[in-house]
Each structure stands twice: as C-alpha cells, then as structure tokens.
Amino acid sequence: MTGKFYDVIIMGAGPAGLQAAIHAARRKASVLVIGQSKKSSAYNAHIENFCCTATQSGAEMLEIGIAKAEESGAEFLDTEVMALNADNGHYTVETARGEALKAYALIFAMGISRNKLNLAGEKDLVGRGVSYCVDCDGPLFKKEPVAVVGCGSAAAGAALTMLFYANEVHLVCEKLDMDSFLAEKIRESGVVVHEGRKITQIKGDDAVSGLVLDDGEELAVTGVFIELGAKGAIDFAARLGILLDDTMKYIAVNKKQETNLTGIYAAGDICGPPWQVAKSVGEGCVAGIEAAAYAIKRKQEGR
Ligand SMILES: Cc1cc2nc3c(=O)[nH]c(=O)nc-3n(C[C@H](O)[C@H](O)[C@H](O)COP(=O)(O)OP(=O)(O)OC[C@H]3O[C@@H](n4cnc5c(N)ncnc54)[C@H](O)[C@@H]3O)c2cc1C
C-alpha cells in the first residue's frame, strides 16, 4: 500500500470521518479512512439524541457507518497517522505502521480528548454518573442532585441547563472564569456555587453516590458533569500551518469545511463544540463533498 495515491485521505473513523467517507466515495473519489472506530468518543456512548439510527449504542452506530462507507467504496486502515507533509500540491500521510500514502485532499476528523479530573474511579464511573456532556446525558438526571465541575462559560452553561432537569445543581470551581453576564446569571440562579473548592473524590461503586470536596464537605449527588474543556488533535494541524480558531483550540474552517490550506478540510469535534454526533456528521458530509470535488478537479486537470 505504501506510496498509493488517493483522491481523499480522511483521518478519523468517528461519525465525522465516516460521513465524509460516504459522501466523498459516492462522488467517485478514491477514499482512504485512517483511524480506529474503537477510539471514537462515540464508541462507548449511549446516544439518545441523534435523529436517525434505531440503535442507541455508539459502537453499533459506528459499525453501521463503516459498513455504509465500505459499500460506498471507501477503504479503511486501522492505525494512526504519525506525520503529514505537503509536497508539490499533494499531501503525504505517514502511519504508525510505516506506510506513506499520498492524496490530493485531506480531511481532519480526529475528534478531541476531553480534559479529565484524573481522580480514582472517574474512568470506571463514566456512563454511570460521570459525564462530559450535558447535552447528551443531562436528561438522564431528571429530579436528581448533580454537580458540574469547571470554571468557564461551558461549565456555567452546563449548570444552567441542568437546572431544567435536576432537583439540585452544584457548581464546583476554583475560580469563576466566565464573562460577567454569565457569572451574574449563575449567582442569581438556583445553582449552589462552591467557589475556591476542588473535588478530591468521586464516591460510588456501581454508580456515583457523592463527591468529597477539599475542605471535607460531602455532596450527595448522583451525577457529575466534568466541563474542563478538551484537547484537539491540533499538533499535526499546527505543524502544517493550519490556522486555529479564536480559542486557539480547534481548527478554523469556513462553511465548506475548508481550512486556510488548499485541499485540507476539517469536520466534527476537532472544529469545536457542540461536541455532538449530529454536528459531526453534518460537517463530515460537507467536508466529504467538497474534498471529493476538489480532488477530482485536480485529477482532471492532470496536476
Ligand atoms: C461518554 C460520551 C457520551 C456521548 N454522548 C453523546 C450523545 O448522547 N449524543 C451525541 O450527539 N454525542 C455524544 N457524545 C459526543 C460524540 O461522541 C462526539 O461528538 C462524536 O463522536 C464526534 O465525532 P468525531 O468524528 O468528530 O470524533 P470521534 O468520534 O472522537 O472520532 C475521532 C477519530 O479520530 C481518530 N484519530 C485520532 N487521532 C488520530 C490519528 N493521529 N490518526 C488517525 N486517526 C486518529 C480516532 O481513532 C477516531 O476514530 C458523547 C461523547 C462521550 C465521550
């Protein structure tokens, strides 16, 4: 496979990459998807708010997506991208397995890695009280007591949203760091703010039963929403000279999902919040169509 030339190489096998692959391949572009669906944020998720699949299992949804992309003609490589280079108007993608593959167009669909509290038990309780997404899991905590952890606007928004569902909302934060309008709104709302506090323990064996703060206070909550932001796979992007958005955390794209570099597109969580399947597949669709059109034009021009 080394040296093989594709019209479009898609980096990421989550919802954004799979939808991009389906649309690009159906436009008769040769398409390679590099990535591991097991590493998609959606893989272990229980997805209730996406309009268009019968299943709520993220793993099953991805399996369906891979089958559709393969039926459409896309090829898959179950590995990681290690390096990217621009040469003479095309791009070379080096993988962890040592392949060096070329393409006219690239789509960045590598998702994000959510920042963790890194407390004992946090990982094991994900989906059993610990969540990184109020839009996804908020409705599961109707009339339950919950805590949101974080100091920024996302944490404030999450806490205000949870007031619609939960019967008690705590916001645990070392120092509120959000615009004054939002800080005022939080103070006027029914959210109980624990400013200057840190969480030292998440309690619970099979499901979250409470939190311990650094002054020893215990909060009897059944849900903990961790809103500490996320890291994008932006190192590769930055090394190639791709511009980031104003937050300097996500890839900046226009309405065609184009980055500032010709032939490079991005879609999904890597372009910023809301981190949702619906947004990822929408952006993936646009990126796939645009990347295929660009690559096919380049090929026809013989460049
Ligand atoms: C616990 C949880 C629950 C969620 N619940 C919901 C929900 O109910 N509803 C909802 O809409 N959304 C939910 N989400 C969010 C949803 O999963 C994401 O928005 C969605 O998966 C983003 O799709 P993506 O394709 O952009 O990235 P991802 O799905 O994260 O896929 C990223 C892909 O990039 C690949 N990759 C990363 N680095 C490299 C590299 N160097 N080389 C090659 N490939 C690479 C990975 O292997 C992976 O295949 C949830 C997320 C979590 C964590």
Half-sphere exposure of 221 (CA within 13 A, CB side): 30
The pLDDT of 176-188, averaged and rounded, is 85
Q: Given 210, 226, 242, which residue is the final one in a domain?
A: 226
CB 131 within 8 A of CB 224: yes
Residue nearest to ligand 1 atom 33, measured at CA? 12
Residues 221, 271 within the same domain: no
**What DSSP string runs through 51-76?**
TT-S--BHHHHHHHHHHHHHHHT-EE
Position 271 scores a pLDDT of 96
**pLDDT band at residue 2 under the 50/70/90 scheme:** low
Residues 127, 179 within the same domain: yes
Q: Which residues approach ligand 1 with their CB closer than 6 A?
A: 11-17, 34-37, 39-42, 45, 47-50, 80-81, 109-111, 126, 132-133, 136, 233, 268-270, 275-278, 280
Read off φ and ψ for residue 58, nearest 5 degrees: -60, -40
- In sequence order, what are the residues at sequence separation of 6 or more whose Cβ sits closer than 8 angstroms to the Cβ of residue 250? 112, 232, 234, 244, 270, 271, 272
Give 132 Cα–ligand 1 centroid separation in angstroms.
12
Q: Residue 26 is part of which domain span?
A: 5-113+230-300
The pLDDT of 160-167, averaged and rounded, is 95
Give 111 Cα–ligand 1 centroid separation in angstroms.
5
Residue nearest to ligand 1 atom 13, measured at CA? 276
pLDDT of 239 strictly over 90: no
Helix (H, G, I), strand (E, B) or coil at 288: helix
Q: For the chain, how many structural domains are there in total?
A: 2
Q: Which amino acid is at 83?
A: A
- pTM for this entry: 0.85
Give 133 Cα–ligand 1 centroid separation in angstroms.
12
Position 235 scores a pLDDT of 78
**pLDDT band at residue 303 under the 50/70/90 scheme:** low
Q: Given 183, 211, 226, which residue is the final one in a domain?
A: 226
Position 1 scores a pLDDT of 65
What is the three-state SS of 157-202?
A: HHHHHHCCCCCEEEEEECCCCCCHHHHHHHHHCCCEEEECCCEEEE
Determine what percent of the chain falls in helix, strand and coil, rounding each to the nearest 5.
30, 25, 40
The pLDDT of 256-267, averaged and rounded, is 97
Give 268 Cα–ligand 1 centroid separation in angstroms.
8
Give 109 Cα–ligand 1 centroid separation in angstroms.
9
